[in-house]
Chains A and B, each alone.
Chain A
Amino acid sequence: MDRFYWRLNQIFILRQLAVFYTCLAVFSIFTVSGQLIAQVNVLGKPGYIMTPNAQWDSEDELTLSFSHVPQTYAINHFMGAYYTENIYGVGVGLTNFMEVYLNITRVRERAGEIGIGDRHVSFRFRLLAEEKHGINAVLLVSAPFGTNQHLNHDALVLEKTGELSPTVHFRLTGGYALPFVIAIPTRAGDRSLTILIKSKEEANIRYLSGVFGGFSLDWKETAGLSLEHDGHTLNAGIFVRPLPWMQLQVHTFEGKELGYNFSLHFPLSVTPKEMRAYER
């Protein structure tokens, strides 16, 4: 039973996390634009469509993402079955070599049975930087705890970038993800520490195993194309940045089904509004 007072339900419909995000964003940062947003994948990490790449952003920015994945290509199963899913993501850099990502998968069809959805925590580490070492390298590690591991992936990503012309830039990525998941089950009352290693194939986990790769072309940082192979399927998409800190992407899975992705970038170190007004 819901109770709304003051007829403010028009504004405060907090059932959807998307609205929660929006409220927070509006409350806190609002008019300030962030830096250029990286192209992000289904989990809100720098990447193409499903696969990650090795792009590294400035650390004092927060990324919010929303992805819609059709049933056939869904990656977070519930009780063995896959449904059309919405994946929400938040990512932030803690240091200049480490980022933390949180995901929640909402399955609207089965919301009554599964609640808010599965949560997933993962980390991203920068190993090599192209400016210094000639190649970008990033290590992705999923937190081994939690009740399920459908989105877990532990991968190494290598990347080269370059330019075809002063306005057209390309990015070429290759990587390898472990074909198994590492899990430390945590249950109330259970204090034993066991480490489980489950084969992704046997556990019916689709997301990222084995060799994957991606390629993107970027025109003036406002629009671009991407193509990837995620180990199972070949996907392609187009993306636009109507504002430097906002990205919209539409993509196809094997040319059969459509998915989309929306993401925002927020600065975390802006000066207060009053001070900015004075400086102007």
Chain B
Amino acid sequence: MRGRCWLIGWVFFLGLCVPGYGQVAEDLLKRAGYEQVHLIRADSGKLLSWEHRNFRNPFHSLTWADQMIADTAVTGFIPLYLNRPMGVYDRKTLTYRPVTPEEKALLKTNNRLPSGYRWNFRIGPDFSARFGDMETPFRSRTNLILDTRVYLLPGLSVQTGVLVPIQNNLGIWGTHWRLAPTHLHYFAIPKPHHFMGITAGTFFQDRYGVHVQYRYDDFDKLWRIGIESAYTGYYFIPGRKLYMDPLNDLILLLDIEYRWRKTDLTLRLSGGQFIGRDRGVRGGLIRQYGRVDIGFFMAKTINGTSGGFQFALPLFPGKIVRGRKWELRTTEEFRWEYNYSHAAPIGRNFRLGMPKLSDQLRQYNSSFIRAQYFK
């Protein structure tokens, strides 16, 4: 009798331990910077979903999760971006498939806002330079930005922060600390492969206004298309005031991208109206190396011909301090573009303060992820 009691007790204890074991793995992931970690039991099997804001390239969070999760019943991973599921990646082969409506509904019920996320502070430089001037050949402006993004509703987030001027011989912007680019962003995936983002607020390059982007991107395919449009004006914060020019600049760009699978090289052609009512076309090559993206471009517009290069990389060291509820880190994407012409803008665009959809979705491409796996 006594033995049977022990046995029942033991079984009960084991029963407690099994979910406890899952909890341990989840805590391990959370300590590693994973946010919004959920284990869902869909018809397709046990799936693990998360968002990892430090890693721009989802390959890193996918492989790291695979190392940390001992439970072999978990067959697939769902990385989230801006609180939206980007797709299901098979745990073993890293092949991609879109999220099914059932999985989407399960994720929605599990989604916890804002408690599923840390209070995430990000440090990143804002560096502008001009090389053409004869008197001072290297004119530059360096600011340091400390910003944060808070998730309000599924897909809806707000980014704000403080901008600290460090050095400036490029123009008059003042030496006072001021509001860093601040905006409201809405990201949605209405149907599989269809992505859209709407951003309203202040951006880099002293722009404020509205920015809309739509992309069709099947992560398994070679071709992608997108539309980007913005209606912006110039703004400036002299001290405690806010100076704004009226909204007067329209950008409307159509782009098409082709991916050369063998080398993770993307050919990108875009055309339409660039910043400053500059109409024309721009073509370029972008190579994804895994951590760093490097691209070269040529542009021919009504303002003339120009070319240049751009790069994007996460800044070292990444995580600085991480608590249970907050984190301080360096930016996951520092992007910089060099354009040969400096007189009139030729084929230029502005930065939002967050990655644009075209640059972000490229990281989720299934052949890009699988190629890194087999390297």
Contacts of B313 in A (CB 8 A): 28
Task: Jot down 5 A-B pairs with beta carbons below 8 A, ordered by A.
Answer: A2-B136, A60-B290, A113-B134, A268-B291, A274-B32
Q: Are A4 and B167 in contact (CB under 8 A)?
A: yes
Question: In the complex where A28-B313, A29-B316 touch, is A188 in contact with B304 (Cβ < 8 A)?
Answer: yes
Q: Which of A100, A102, A115 has the most CB of B within 10 A?
A: A115
Q: Does B168 touch A at the CB level, under 8 Å?
A: yes
**Chain A 33-71 residues near chain B, CB threshold 8 A:** 59-60, 62
- A95 touching B263 in the complex, CB below 8 Å, given contacts A14-B138, A189-B304: yes
Q: Which of A58-108 contact B (CB under 8 A)?
A: 59-60, 62, 92, 94-96, 100, 102
Tell me whether A92 and B142 are in contact in the complex, defined as CB-CB below 8 angstroms, given that A3-B167, A115-B133, A274-B33 are known contacts: no
Contact of A30 with B316 in the complex, beta carbons under 8 Å: yes
- The residues of B that contact A187 with a CB separation of less than 8 Å are 304
| Contact A188–B315 (Cβ < 8 Å) | no
Q: Taking the complex as formed, is B310 at the interface, i.e. its CB lies under 8 A from any CB of chain A?
A: no
Check A14 against B304 for contact (C-beta < 8 Å): no
Q: Are B167 and A8 in contact (CB under 8 A)?
A: yes
> A186 CA to B340 CA in the complex, in Å?
12
CA gap between A247 and B115 in the complex, in Å: 51
Decide yes or no whether A176 CB sits under 8 A from chain B.
no
Chain B 115-145 against A: per-residue CB contact (8 Å), 1 yes, 0 no? Answer: 0000000000100010111111110101000
The 0/1 profile, CB within 8 Å of B marked 1, for residues 1-33 of chain A is 111111011001011110000000011111000
Q: Which residues of A contact B64 (CB under 8 A)?
A: 275, 278
A6 and B166 within 8 A (CB): yes
A135 within 8 A of B: no
Interchain CB contact under 8 A, B165 and A272: no
- Kindly identify, within residues 314 to 354 of chain B, every residue whose CB is under 8 Å from any CB belonging to chain A: 314-319, 330, 334, 340-341, 343-344
Q: Judge whether A119 is part of the interface by a CB distance below 8 angstroms.
A: yes
Q: Which residue of A lies closest to B314 (CB)?
A: A272
Enumerate chain A residues within 8 angstroms of B330, measured Cβ to Cβ: 27
Contact of B54 among A30, A60, A274 (CB under 8 A): A274
- Say yes or no: B343 contacts A5, CB within 8 Å: no
Q: By the criterion CB–CB under 8 Å, are A186 and B289 in contact? A: no
- Do B289 and A14 have beta carbons less than 8 Å apart? no
Q: Is A116 an interface residue (CB 8 A)?
A: yes
| Residue A269 lies at the interface, judged by CB distance under 8 Å to chain B | yes
Nearest A residue (CB) for B317: A273
| Interface presence of A165 (CB below 8 A) | no
Bin the interface of chain A by size.
35 or more
Task: Tell me the complex Cα distance, A272–B133, Å.
Answer: 38
Docked pose: A279 CA to B66 CA in angstroms: 12
B315 touches A271 (CB 8 A): no
| Contacts A1-B169, A30-B317, A114-B137 known; 18 new A-B pairs at CB < 8 A | A5-B175, A14-B129, A14-B138, A16-B138, A17-B138, A27-B316, A28-B314, A28-B315, A59-B263, A60-B290, A62-B292, A94-B287, A94-B294, A112-B135, A117-B137, A268-B292, A269-B292, A272-B318
The residues in A between 170 and 201 inclusive whose CB is less than 8 angstroms from any CB of B are: 186-189
Number of B interface residues, CB 8 Å? 59
B292 x A14 contact (CB < 8 A): no
Contacts of A12 in B (CB 8 A): 142, 166-167
A115 (CB) vs chain B CBs: closest residue: B137
Query: What separation, in Å, do the CA atoms of A14 and B131 have in the docked complex?
Result: 12
Q: How far is the CA of A32 from the CA of B304 in the complex (A)?
A: 41
- Per the bound structure, the CA–CA distance linking A26 and B313 in Å amounts to 12
Check A186/B304 contact, CB under 8 A, given A3-B167, A8-B167, A96-B263: yes
Q: Max chain B CB contacts within 10 Å: which of A3, A6, A15, A189?
A: A3
CB B224 to nearest CB in A, in angstroms, measures 19
Q: Bound complex: CA of A119 vs CA of B137, how far in Å? A: 13
Which residues of chain A come closer than 8 Å to B234, judged between CB atoms? none
Among A3, A115, A189, A271, which residue has its beta carbon within 8 angstroms of that of B131?
A115
Q: Chain B residues near A243 (CB, 8 Å)?
A: none
* Separation of A112 and B135 alpha carbons in the complex (Å): 6
A111 CB–B CB distance under 8 Å: yes
B296 at the interface (CB under 8 A from A): yes
Nearest Cβ in chain B — how far from A271, in angstroms?
6
Q: B307 contacts the other chain (Cβ, under 8 Å)?
A: yes
Q: Which residues of A contact B196 (CB under 8 A)?
A: none
Mark interface residues in A261-278 (1 if CB within 8 Å of B CB, else 0). 000000011111111001
A1 to chain B: closest residue by CB = B169
Q: How far is the CA of A28 from the CA of B291 in the complex (A)?
A: 10
A41 to chain B, nearest CB (A): 21
From residue 145 to 189 of chain B, which have CB atoms closer than 8 A to chain A? 164-169, 175
Residues A275 and B60 in contact, CB atoms below 8 Å apart: yes
Q: Counting chain B CB atoms within 10 Å of each CB, which of A14, A111, A117 scores highest? A: A14
Does A145 have its Cβ within 8 Å of any Cβ on chain B? yes
Closest A residue to B164 by CB, please name it.
Answer: A6
Residue of B nearest to A25 (CB): B316
Q: With an 8 A cutoff between CB atoms, is B81 at the interface?
A: no
Asked whether any CB of chain A lies closer than 8 Å to the CB of B309, the reply is yes
Q: How far is the CA of A11 from the CA of B330 in the complex (A)?
A: 18
Contact B289 A268 (CB under 8 A): yes
Which residue on chain B has the smallest CB distance to residue A61? Answer: B289
Identify which of A28, A114, A273 gathers the most chain B CB atoms within 10 Å of its CB.
A28
Nearest CB in chain A to that of B306: its residue: A186
A20–B315 CA distance with the chains assembled, in angstroms: 14
Rounded to whole angstroms, the CA-CA distance of A3 and B132 in the bound complex is 19
Q: Which of A14, A27, A268 is B290 in contact with, Cβ under 8 Å?
A: A268
